[in-house]
Structure 1
Amino acid sequence: MNYTSIECASSTSEQFVPMSPAKTLKVYWLETKFEWLKTIRNPAFALPAILFPVIFYLFFGVLMNHGNVQAASYLLSTYGTFGVMGPALFSFGAALAVERGKGWLDIKEASPMPASAQIISRLIVSMIFSLLIIISLGIIGVFFGGVELSVFQGALLSVILVFGGLPFCLLGLALGMMLKAESAPAIVNVIYLPMAFLSGLWIPITMLPNFLQTFANFLPPYHLSQLALKVMQQDVGDSVFTHLLALTLFAVIFFVFALVAHKRKQN
């Protein structure tokens, strides 16, 4: 064996040496840190993600329903659902498609970084944005809308909405793997806004025609908003198990779509 083959064998063996748990954790931390910095330095994403739900809630939930605490409480839950959908769909869907189109994901996949690091980092950043949105809506609802929200209710509502955003992250991941960079933002919006309206996030679901109320059961925002409305005791009455099961099924379906799209991208 010549020196060249020895060097190649040595470099190959070094390439597959697994990282220690401490180094792996540091990689996840750094990827999350830079994903966060990249996101907040992009005003085209960061500002609309937080301001749109807040402005809509301030206008429709507080100003147009001034003195109507029940409406303000209802819309706090539904606009909270609307708020967590945005970062999930656009961070994973539109942003991922753009980065994939520029070849940035190929560079990351060729690096020694664990493949899951870029997904976990986006998920954490999306959850942080969701929490900021929920806190902002809660402050407006309590101080300007007259919403009576205990500490336990506020914490429970936050947990439901933040972790309930997982199916939308997986939907965004599937879209980000399938869509082209040029069309991704428009297509995500076409999915995002009608799905929100048909799920009863902008007006009470009971005000929609009966066939649309039935159709809402096949949309994930409806089930998440109903879980959030249970905290306010304003849901339509289905069980918690029903909504959790539906969200779990949606998450599994979107995850399968993302895997299929990823495999097609590699072929």
Structure 2
Amino acid sequence: MNRILHSFVLETGAELLKAFRAPEFIFPTLGMPVAFYALFAIMLPGSNENAAGLLATYGVFAVMGPAIFGFGISVANERDKGWLDLKLAAPSQGFSYIGAKVFSTLLFSSISLIIIYLVAGFGAGVALPQSTWAMMLCVHLLATFPFILIGLSIGFTCSGNAAMAISNIIFLALAALGGLWIPMMLFPQSMQTFAQFLPTFHLSEIALFVLGATGERNIVYNLMCVGMMSIGLLIFTAIAWSKQRSH
């Protein structure tokens, strides 16, 4: 146990050091969500009326970047360089490797969320009960895990160059088509139907439900969809992980 814990601490320190030395990762993942939220919730005329609802959806958007890019591109690059084979040679190293990346992702997701919450509260005038803020934070942080699985799937199956392109495409597609930037009710019916197959749509619906936003929502259906999608992603990731370890 001590060996595993020591390995985890070392891996976590290395992950954080690597992230802080990569401003090209930190600034977009932390800056883009809050910039988009400030634009659509504060700067545009009449945007303050929907500032609380946008907080729910942009919170999901905020946790996507650290998860998809932090795992997809990072793992793929480490595969290309042969580092992943070395780190997965021992069982404790494999656990520590994934655990450290999860911790780093949750840390950066938390920072991104706190920045957006502060902008929403002080800049957009969003006032919520403390219990709602806490539940919203829990929902947004839990929303990180499906995107971690997406990132791992990309990292275990793609080369470094391909992972960068695919991660960007998936990131933008999930955000735009899942209704994170623009309310889904403004989309054509065909796009609303397609959104039912995306985790971003269901995660944003769950966040809106916690917020108490108006509108009919089937929260049980949303939870079931996220659960089934997560299980499917977990199975795919486990298969890719198994192939990587046996390589």
Match of 1:178 in 2: 157
CA-based RMSD of the aligned residues comes to 1.6
Q: CA deviation at 1:165?
A: 1.1
Deviations 1:110-161 (A, max 9, x none): 2563312111111111111111111100111111111112221111111101
The one-letter code of the counterpart of 1:32 is T
Question: What TM-score comes out, normalization by structure 2 length?
Answer: 0.94
Report matched runs for 1:40-51 at 5 Å. Answer: 40-51=20-31
Matched, 1:62 2:42: yes
Match of 1:96 in 2: 75
Bigger radius of gyration: 1
Q: Which moved more, 1:89-98 or 1:114-123?
A: 114-123
Report matched runs for 1:245-264 at 5 Å. Answer: 245-264=224-243
Matched, 1:34 2:14: yes
Q: Contact 1:35–1:125 (CA<8 Å) still a contact in 2?
A: yes
- Residues 28 and 148 (structure 1), Cα distance of their counterparts in 2 relative to 1, 3 Å cut: same
Q: How many correspondences in the alignment?
A: 246
Matched, 1:126 2:126: no
Question: What TM-score comes out, normalization by structure 1 length?
Answer: 0.87
- Residues 170 and 238 (structure 1), Cα distance of their counterparts in 2 relative to 1, 3 Å cut: same
- What secondary structure, in the 3-state scheme, does the structure 1 residue paired with 2:196 have? helix
- What secondary structure, in the 3-state scheme, does the structure 1 residue paired with 2:127 have? coil
The one-letter code of the counterpart of 1:208 is F
The one of 215, 219, 226 equivalent to 2:198 is 219
Percent identity over the alignment is 35
Match of 1:153 in 2: 132
Match of 1:113 in 2: 92
Report matched runs for 1:63-82 at 5 Å. Answer: 63-66=43-46, 68-82=47-61
What residue ranges of structure 1 are gaps of 5+ in the alignment?
1-20
What residue ranges of structure 2 are gaps of 5+ in the alignment?
none
The one-letter code of the counterpart of 1:180 is S
Q: CA deviation at 1:205?
A: 0.5
* Cα separation, 2, equivalents of 1:117 and 1:165: 19
- Residues 264 and 113 (structure 1), Cα distance of their counterparts in 2 relative to 1, 3 Å cut: closer
Q: Contact 1:127–1:163 (CA<8 Å) still a contact in 2?
A: no
